[in-house]
Amino acid sequence: MSHSSTVNSSMNLYLYQLKSLILKEYKEAFRDKRALIVALMMAFMAPVMIVLMSKITIEKLIDEPPIYVNFNGAEYAPKLMEYFADNNLLSLADVPEGDKAIWQQRNITVNIPIDYETDMAQGRPIKLYLQADFTDKAVGSPVRRINNAVRSYSLNIGYKRLLLRGVDVRLLNPITLVEQDTSKPDATFMLISIMLGIYLMLAAFMSGLSVAIDSSAGERERNVLEMLLCQPVSTLQIVLAKLISASTISILGIVLVLGLTSLSVGFVDLTKIGATFTLDISTSLTLLTLLLPICFFASACQLFVAFQTKSFKEAQSTVSILIGIPAFIPFVVSLMDDRPEWLNWLPVAGQSMIIENIFKGVEVNWLAFIATSVVTITITVVLVLALAKKLKSEKVVMALS
Amino acid sequence: MLMVFSKLFSESITMIEVNNLHKSFIDKKDKNNTVKALDGLSFTAKDGEITGILGPNGAGKTTCLRTLYGLLCADEGFATIDGISVTEKPLAARAKLGIFPDKFGLYERLTAYEQIDYFASLHGLSGQTKKQAIAQVIEDLDLSDLAHRKTVGFSQGQRMKVTLAQALVHQPQNFVLDEPTRGLDVMSTRILRDYLAKFKAKGHCILFSSHVMQEVAALCDRVIIVANGKLAAQGTPQELCDLAGETNLEDAFVKLIGTDEGVAA
């Protein structure tokens, strides 16, 4: 090279070439706007999904939907009616036009006797009659709620009577069953956090997917890979550049999911269901650090598979199967009761258990954190080296034409 | 003058040497289905000369050139570039090469300039030197109008120019082209030919494969005829005609490879 200043030391040259390779991969990845948007769609959808899910579950839990009952003799028990109304048990007369047919058909009737007031004043037992078609499933829940309301109203009065006579009400409850819910805060909240955990895994695998396929099988299909393989760069440099480019997009996906979720969670009042779902900066950073190796692992897997397929189409379908891993493993892990120790170490499984613990509010097991990260990184390195070796093989070259 | 000088000079130093290359592609399932692509091929391509590899389809031209880039590994024999063994030091050997491959595509999301810049960087050019080298090659190939356009939608001729530019931006001593005129119109072929002639005049070694007779006859100083993975004949186009006792290269070619199979292609 007569009139070209070459980069001097071989290490510098290696890094300079790598930089040029990465730069080109970035240019191609970020200029393919449509593929990029599709890839990051996942990230944009996560917060929307979480907000929607929380809203729906909160409404379900908080709202006891109004029940319309045909009260006969309501005028005899005004206080009881007030109590019913507080519990959203309303009179059939007040039913809105739209629901009229349904409630008339269900025809739940409560009969209050004429002598309710006098019997109550004199402390005589009163019988209220509840009439409904008990085989009708739709009637089940209203009947239960009426039952509960009457019982607690009745108990209330009973307690007051005993108190007036100087009797300790606790005598009525020799045994009390205390229910302790070991599922940390709330089942619904847990569902949301498990979903978010799976979502984060999926985002790590899906965001970089199109870039990984495009830069491997896509380049071969567009006949640019042969030119690249003929250049004075090692296959390891080529693989590293493509890995870094694809995993950057995947990291971007995760940062977006975390950022947008922590923003959007602020719009939902989760305290109503007893959840303290805060995705604060330190939690987000922990999750990001935990998922970084997964991003590289995912891209390495995808590149490894895509480079070995015969066409772009085959690469797309085969790599899509890989998506099953992040969706399936956390799901299976969350269903397992007795988790074997080695599960902590596996990529994806290990991370998803730590994510689960983070959301449960359990102290992070940093040893497991480091162990699973190291294992994941090791597997990634092995994949990269194997792929670099494979790219030198004649099979890959023969697949060029 | 320069040509005479470089010719004299190159008598002693061989720039591209291929020696007794053997290469078989073995079908793992059916051992009888083995294709012998190269069967003891040897030749040399010298500085300041354009050497043409002529052969029918399937003669082993692309296999030979891919072995030269170090993409394929010969079963037997060796190839050297400026004395550097391709199998032992593939990266060092490739650094001495400019390659116009069998299948050339472009990065369609990059501009022509960015592509040339990319390959220049891979060859270790940087800073002002790189800028100058790119500017030079763009001027030489009359690419300035296209330079800052993305290459998607480029015509075959424009694609050829960009590929040529990215292969030559680092001014390699040796230049290998695998059937470069495929799909080119007359104008583009002329541009390519002129450029190769200029490159030769500067004392570079050019090796290119083709199966187009007129092109080889017009351009090459020496012709290597390959058939069935072997060297069938070599010499100047005139020498080959004399050897076969024919007046034009096409007839000589058919006679020398011993069959007319594949010539029509």
Instruction: Flag residues of chain B having pLDDT under 50.
Output: 1-12, 261-265
How high is the pLDDT of residue A386?
Answer: 96
Please report, for chain A, the start and end positions of each structural domain, with discontinuous segments joined by +: 14-59+184-398, 65-172
CA distance A381 to chain B (A): 23
- Alpha-carbon span A358 to A345, nearest angstrom: 17
Q: What is the ipTM of this complex?
A: 0.86
- Alpha-carbon span A352 to A369, nearest angstrom: 11
Residues whose CB falls within 8 Å of the CB of residue A247, separated by 6 or more in sequence, listed in order: A208, A295, A296, A298, A299
CA quadruple B8, B14, B16, B20: dihedral, nearest 10: 130
Q: Looking at chain B from residue 40 to 69, which residues have their Cβ under 8 Å from any Cβ of chain A?
A: 62, 66, 69
A chain contacts of residue B73, beta-carbon cutoff 8 Å: 394
Q: Which residues pair with B21 in a beta bridge?
A: B41
Residue with tokens 């890094």, as numbered in its chain: A15
**Other CB atoms within 10 Å distance of the CB of residue B164:** 27
Closest listed residue to residue A103, CA positions, set A65, A147, A129: A65
- Nearest beta carbon to residue B126 from set A7, A224, A233: A7
Q: How many contacts does A have with B, using Cβ atoms within 8 A? A: 107
Output the pTM of the full model.
0.78
B chain contacts of residue A13, beta-carbon cutoff 8 Å: 124
Query: A17 at the B interface (CB within 8 A)?
Result: yes
CA distance B146 to chain A (A): 19
- Alpha-carbon span A258 to A265, nearest angstrom: 11
CA distance A274 to chain B (A): 51
- The answer to whether the CB atoms of A27 and B133 lie below 8 A apart is no
Contact B55, B226 (CB under 8 A): yes
Best to test chain A binding among B26, B94, B109 (most A CBs inside 10 Å): B109
Amino acid at site A345: W
Query: A368 at the B interface (CB within 8 A)?
Result: no
- Nearest beta carbon to residue B125 from set A4, A19, A394: A4
User: What 3-state DSSP class applies to A32?
Assistant: coil
Q: What is the pLDDT along chain A (401 residues), one digit of tens a residue?
A: 444 445 568 888 999 999 999 999 999 999 988 888 887 887 888 778 777 877 777 676 666 778 888 888 888 888 888 888 888 888 888 888 888 888 888 888 889 888 888 888 888 888 888 888 888 877 888 888 888 889 889 988 888 888 888 888 888 778 877 655 454 445 666 677 777 888 888 888 988 999 999 999 999 888 898 889 989 999 999 999 999 999 999 999 999 988 888 888 777 766 655 555 567 888 889 999 999 999 999 999 999 999 888 888 999 898 888 888 777 887 777 777 777 877 778 888 889 888 888 877 778 888 889 999 999 999 999 999 999 999 988 777 777 65
**Other CB atoms within 10 Å distance of the CB of residue A168:** 8
Contact A192, A54 (CB under 8 A): yes
Query: Which of A214-233 are b and which e, b meaning 16 or more Cβ less than 10 Å from the residue's Cβ?
Result: bbbbbbbbebbbbbbbbbbb
- Alpha-carbon span A191 to A53, nearest angstrom: 10
Phi/psi of residue B79, each to 5°? -130, 140
How high is the pLDDT of residue B259?
Answer: 61
Helix locations, chain B, DSSP H: 2-10, 61-69, 90-95, 112-122, 127-140, 156-168, 186-201, 213-219, 237-244, 249-257
User: What 3-state DSSP class applies to B84?
Assistant: strand
- Nearest beta carbon to residue A233 from set B103, B122, B133: B122
Sign of CA dihedral A98, A101, A106, A110: positive
User: What secondary structure does DSSP assign to A299-349, as a single string?
Assistant: HHHHHHHHHHSSSHHHHHHHHHHHTHHHHHHHHHHHH-SS--GGGGTSTTH
User: What secondary structure does DSSP assign to B198-223, as a single string?
Assistant: HHHHTT-EEEEEE--HHHHHHH-SEE
Query: A314 at the B interface (CB within 8 A)?
Result: no
Best to test chain B binding among A20, A25, A397, A400 (most B CBs inside 10 Å): A20
Sign of CA dihedral A181, A184, A188, A194: negative
Contact B201, B1 (CB under 8 A): no
Stretch (H or E) spanning B98: strand B97-100
Q: Using CB atoms within 10 Å of the CB of residue A379, give its burial: 0 to 12 exposed, 13 to 18 middle, 19+ buried.
A: middle
Q: What is the DSSP letter of A215?
A: I
